[in-house]
A and B are shown apart, each in its own frame.
Chain A
Amino acid sequence: GESVGLHLPTLSVQEGDNSIINCAYSNSASDYFIWYKQESGKGPQFIIDIRSNMDKRQGQRVTVLLNKTVKHLSLQIAATQPGDSAVYFCAENIQNYGQNFVFGPGTRLSVLP
């Protein structure tokens, strides 16, 4: 089903600490996931992706963890910086079914000085 817009949960972290942003996805058939970062007044930017045949993938300062058993995705940001302040969305897709991604409700990350 489609994601439903709700008021955004907020995560506040101290600069330099690690951040963990969580996402529960809806469709057990989804096999491809992307984390997007959206800054105020801008479109979403790709951060990192993961396929369902993996449970962990690392990028530069970011790690995505996938738990298919409980349909849970997390994004870990190491040494959080002020520039990381944004809204983060997870998106799910079924690769061989269609091109559409379904977006989660999003989490606002605020980095405190």
Chain B
Amino acid sequence: GAVVSQHPSRVICKSGTSVKIECRSLDFQATTMFWYRQFPKQSLMLMATSNEGSKATYEQGVEKDKFLINHASLTLSTLTVTSAHPEDSSFYICSAYRRFGDNEQFFGPGTRLTVL
């Protein structure tokens, strides 16, 4: 199966700092990647759709200036949480899309962000 990695797996930062999370598709090219946020005991909430070479599409209520997404290559998308605050603490998960027969999404292992 396709492999998607995320780095870092866990990060703790001070309030006001920025944090960058990387999402890589290791063995296939992904023109589209998705970023999700998951709070404890809740489902995955789509934040934005990242398309290689173009601007990301953000879901309603997600601040694009706070959650900067860059999809510079077919195997890498980055999410930068700018000026992080404690309420941004969450589990961030990316997925990479591939259409091979059916629409398929392959998920990364997630990044646990804790903002102090």
Contacts and interface: CB of A to CB of B under 8 A. Distances in A.
Q: Do A and B bind each other?
A: yes
Interface of A: 2-8, 32, 34, 36, 41-46, 49, 51, 89, 91, 93, 95, 99-106
B78 to A, nearest CB: 17
A44 B44 contact: yes
A99 B43 contact: no
A2 B46 contact: yes
Contact of A100 (B34, B39, B93): B34
B107 interface: yes
Contacts of A95: 102-103
Nearest to B110: A43
A106 B91 CA distance: 16
A2 B44 contact: no
27 contacts: A3-B44, A3-B45, A4-B43, A32-B103, A34-B105, A41-B112, A43-B4, A43-B93, A43-B95, A44-B44, A44-B107, A46-B1, A49-B102, A51-B102, A91-B105, A93-B103, A95-B103, A99-B34, A99-B49, A99-B97, A99-B99, A99-B105, A100-B34, A100-B49, A103-B43, A105-B43, A106-B42
A111 B71 CA distance: 40
Q: Which of B41, B103, B108 is most buried by chain A, counting CB atoms within 10 A of its CB?
A: B103
A102 B59 CA distance: 12
| Closest 9 pairs (CB-CB, A-B) | A5-B42, A43-B107, A99-B97, A43-B109, A43-B110, A44-B107, A103-B44, A105-B43, A103-B43
A89 B44 contact: yes
Contact of A2 (B59, B93, B107, B112): B59
A4 B61 CA distance: 13
Contacts of B109: 42-43
Q: Which of A2, A41, A101, A102 is most buried by chain B, counting CB atoms within 10 A of its CB?
A: A101
B43 A45 contact: no
Q: Which of B6, B45, B99, B112 is most buried by chain A, counting CB atoms within 10 A of its CB?
A: B45
B25 interface: no
Given A42-B109, A49-B102, A99-B97, A106 B34 contact: no
Contacts of B102: 32, 49, 51, 95
